[in-house]
């Protein structure tokens, strides 16, 4: 049975959010933070999953439709780079919110992190996707479309 995007999200997202609660409870106890103080960083770290989960669903659909391997690999590269940027933003936001970083230093750290992580994540995902899609196509008889 193939689930729609929304059904898939409604099944996967609550599990992810539940797993995310544990580390935030530990942080809250260790730093003596209230639930209200933890809410912003918790939601900031929920955003990357909310971004990546629909993208992964669409990428799987496109792969089954037989989109060209290079185009699919580019889409994976952009998706993973976007996810990486959202993780960097969530980390820096949380660092500022918890008082671990000076806001002025955080801006410089954000710029450097994004400039370094975007090309690294894009090309890493691109080449991994090319290898994976190519091996699946070869395993399916070289027709290019997965069975």
Average pLDDT over residues 6-18: 84
- The model's pLDDT over 44-98, given as tens digits with 9 standing for 90+, comes to 999 998 888 889 889 989 988 888 889 999 999 999 999 999 999 999 999 999 9
| The pLDDT of residue 106 | 94
- The model's pLDDT over 104-144, given as tens digits with 9 standing for 90+, comes to 999 999 999 999 999 999 999 999 999 998 888 778 765 54
Nearest CA to 28 among 18, 17, 19, 39?
39
Q: Measure Cα distances from 118 to 53, 104, 115, 139 in Å.
A: 19, 22, 6, 31
CB 75 within 8 A of CB 65: no
What is the pTM for the complete model shown?
Answer: 0.82
Instruction: Give the SS3 label for residue 87.
Output: helix
Interhelix angle 69-97/35-65, rounded to 10 degrees, is: 180
């Amino acid at each position: 049975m193939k689930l729609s995007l929304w059904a898939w999200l409604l099944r996967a997202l609550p599990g992810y959010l539940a797993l995310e609660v544990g580390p935030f409870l530990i942080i809250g106890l260790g730093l003596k933070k209230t639930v209200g103080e933890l809410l912003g960083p918790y939601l900031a770290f929920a955003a990357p999953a909310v971004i990546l989960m629909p993208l992964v669903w669409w990428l799987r659909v496109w792969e089954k439709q037989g989109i060209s391997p290079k185009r699919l690999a580019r889409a994976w590269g952009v998706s993973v780079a976007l996810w990486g940027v959202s993780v960097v933003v969530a980390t820096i936001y949380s660092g500022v919110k918890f008082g671990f970083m000076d806001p002025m230093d955080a801006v410089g750290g954000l710029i450097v992190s994004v400039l370094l992580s975007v090309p690294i994540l894009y090309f890493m995902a691109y080449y991994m996707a090319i290898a994976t899609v190519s091996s699946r196509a070869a395993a399916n008889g070289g027709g290019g479309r997965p069975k």
